[in-house]
Amino acid sequence: MIVHIGPDAPLVIRATADGLLVAHIAAAFVGLLSGSVAILARKGGRTHRIAGVAFTWGMLTMGGVAAVTAPLIPQWVSAFEGLFIVYLTATGWMALKRPPGQVGGFERWAPAVGAAVAAGFLGLAARGLGAPDGRIYGEPFQVVALYGVAALVAVVCDLRMLHGGGLVGGRRLARHLWRLSMVLALVWSAVAVPKAVRVAPFLVLPTLIVLAMMIRWLVRLAPRRPVRPVPSSSIAAA
């Protein structure tokens, strides 16, 4: 993502654009590295916590820069991707920062951001569907629609959490896990998938590995149905 500034633009404007580009790229690199360490490290350990903090700030910076600057290009898909990354990162981080069984003002306002992201993606996908090549700002409309569906799922989860008055136990950990893992998968896909399509298909592996590990942990955290004891009378009858 490059903000195109003319050579006759004031020095301050050109320096700001260059600084934002450097911040965007550096934050993406920090996020990919620290996120990969966090997802592989022992959960709750010191390495996981340090990498998680670096990942959070890296993704907030990268997504925030994209959300602010992409409309200037204009590149609205990238703008909503940036806002989606900020939304998922912030809500995923707050899932553990908020005490169990509680919600605050942040959680009450977050669904509005998620709904705006979903509406933006789905609206762009509808425009891409009507385009001759099926693309909108260079992205296939199917991919943009998938982002919109993912944002809707996140909003539904937000509303369910608010209705229940917060999360505890495995559900709280699952919210933290799937949102930050989804961010890492999105960033890996943005970096590697275009090259995988053009050059080497194996470059898509990091995205698939992140998604596979996310699903594995969600299965482990899923609530188990209690085993109902067999009545002693039934055992005797048998």
Q: Does residue 229 fall inside a structural domain?
A: no
Is 136:124 a contact under the CB 8 Å cutoff? yes
SS3 15: helix
Which domain does 90 fall in, by range? 11-222
Count CB atoms within 10 A of the CB of residue 105: 7
The confidence score (pLDDT) of residue 193 equals: 59
Q: Does residue 48 fall inside a structural domain?
A: yes
Q: Does residue 233 fall inside a structural domain?
A: no
Q: Does residue 137 fall inside a structural domain?
A: yes
Q: Taking phi first (over 0 means left), then psi (-120 to 50 degrees means alpha), and beta for anything else, what does residue 226 get?
A: beta
Q: Does residue 3 fall inside a structural domain?
A: no
In 3D, which of 223, 130, 91 has the Cα closest to residue 168? 223
* Tokens found for residue 165: 């008055």
> Which helix or strand (DSSP H or E) is residue 122 part of?
helix 105-129
The pTM score is 0.85
The confidence score (pLDDT) of residue 169 equals: 87
Q: Does residue 32 fall inside a structural domain?
A: yes
Q: How many domains does the chain have?
A: 1
Q: How many CA atoms lie within 13 A of 17 on its CB side?
A: 16
Q: Does residue 1 fall inside a structural domain?
A: no
Q: Does residue 86 fall inside a structural domain?
A: yes
Residue 136 has φ and ψ, to the nearest 5°, of -135, 120
Residue listed under structure tokens 């048998």: 238
The confidence score (pLDDT) of residue 190 equals: 79
- Looking at residue 139, the DSSP 8-state letter turns out to be E
Is 137:150 a contact under the CB 8 Å cutoff? no
In 3D, which of 159, 190, 230 has the Cα closest to residue 32? 190
What are the residues whose beta carbons fall under 8 Å from the beta carbon of 175, sequence distance 6 or more?
91, 92, 95, 157, 161, 167
The per-residue pLDDT string of the chain (238 residues; one tens digit each, 9 = 90 and over) reads 555 555 555 556 556 666 777 888 888 889 889 998 998 888 888 899 999 999 999 999 999 998 988 888 888 999 999 999 999 999 999 999 999 999 999 999 999 999 999 999 999 999 999 888 888 888 888 989 999 999 999 999 999 999 999 888 889 999 999 999 999 999 888 776 555 555 566 677 888 888 998 999 888 887 765 545 555 554 444 4
